[in-house]
């Protein structure tokens, strides 16, 4: 998996028809990612996307039923990249520590794939169906993690329903913070440390057992 696909056809060898076809679709996809990331969904006209992709406007409709269909595929696809990315960055420390790692990794991912910020944030209104899909992808996985932690004894006193609410709060908080602290004139910047520490305090004390909290100052 790469979230930074090569900007040129993978091989120098001649591509067969199937490969050329996939490659064109890929080009459109990447162009859309770029355009939406930079200008937002609203400004991501088919004309702009195809121009960026270097294909004719008509070509677009050989690969996607409609502009909306493409838009709805954008977030879920990159969202999965994000999940992989975060998973790779999560160690084997104790539960609270891992949650902080996930929190940090999320912001790291945003810096790696700056387009993700807008693609994620605006999706709710411009690609609702894609947004829902992403939501499900994420929250299901997240709740599963929390349940496992509870099973391991590091959390108690939270019901399944409450887990779901907590997960939504986490996601909401991250989104909000990312918008607040990560946008900048040109590009995406790191999140300030005090955001991380505030999150750590809130989470470790509020969600997990009182064991540590300050065992892992960074």
Residue ranges in contact with DNA by CB under 7 A: 14, 16-17, 20-21, 24, 43-48, 55-63, 66-68
* 49 versus 120: smaller Cβ distance to DNA: 49
- 217 contributes a contact to its own copies by CB under 8 A: no
211 binds, among DNA, its own copies, none (CB under 5 to 8 A by kind): none
> Of 7-15, 28-36, 143-151, 157-165, which part binds its own copies (CB under 8 A)?
157-165
Three-class HEC string of the chain: CCCCCCCCCCCCCCCCHHHHHHHHHHHHHHHHHHHHHHHCHHHCCHHHHHHHHCCCHHHHHHHCCCHHHHHHHHHHHHHHHHHHHHHHHCCCCCHHHHHHHHHHHHHHHHHHCCHHHHHHHHHHHHCHHHHHHHHHHHHHHHHHHHHHHHHCCCCCCCCHHHHHHHHHHHHHHHHHHHHHHHEECCEECCCCHHHHHHHHHHHHHHCCCCCCCCCCCC
Q: Report 5-64 residues binding its own copies (CB under 8 A).
A: 40, 42
- 127 contributes a contact to its own copies by CB under 8 A: no
| Distance of closest approach, residue 183 Cβ to its own copies, in angstroms | 10
- Which residue among 39, 197, 211, 216 contacts its own copies (CB under 8 A)? 197
Residues near its own copies, by CB under 8 A: 40, 42, 121-122, 124-126, 135, 157-159, 161-166, 168-177, 179-180, 192, 194-195, 197-199, 201-207, 210
């Amino acid at each position: 998996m790469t979230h930074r696909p090569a900007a040129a056809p993978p091989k120098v060898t001649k591509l067969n028809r199937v490969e050329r076809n996939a490659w064109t679709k890929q080009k459109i996809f990447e162009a859309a990612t770029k355009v939406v990331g930079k200008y937002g969904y609203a400004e991501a006209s088919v004309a702009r996307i195809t121009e960026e992709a270097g294909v004719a406007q008509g070509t677009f409709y050989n690969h996607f039923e409609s502009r909306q269909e493409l838009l709805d595929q954008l977030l879920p696809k990159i969202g999965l990249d994000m999940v992989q990315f975060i998973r790779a960055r999560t160690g084997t420390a104790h539960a609270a520590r891992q949650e902080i790692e996930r929190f940090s990794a999320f912001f790291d991912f945003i810096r790696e794939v700056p387009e993700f910020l807008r693609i994620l944030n605006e999706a709710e209104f411009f690609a609702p169906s894609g947004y829902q899909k992403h939501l499900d992808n994420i929250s299901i996985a997240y709740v599963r993690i929390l349940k496992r932690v509870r099973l391991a004894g590091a959390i108690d006193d939270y019901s399944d329903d409450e887990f779901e609410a907590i997960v939504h709060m986490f996601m909401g908080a991250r989104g909000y913070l990312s918008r607040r602290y990560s946008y900048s004139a040109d590009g995406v910047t790191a999140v300030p440390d005090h955001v991380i520490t505030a999150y750590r305090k809130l989470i470790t004390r509020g969600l997990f057992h009182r064991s540590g909290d300050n065992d892992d100052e960074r």
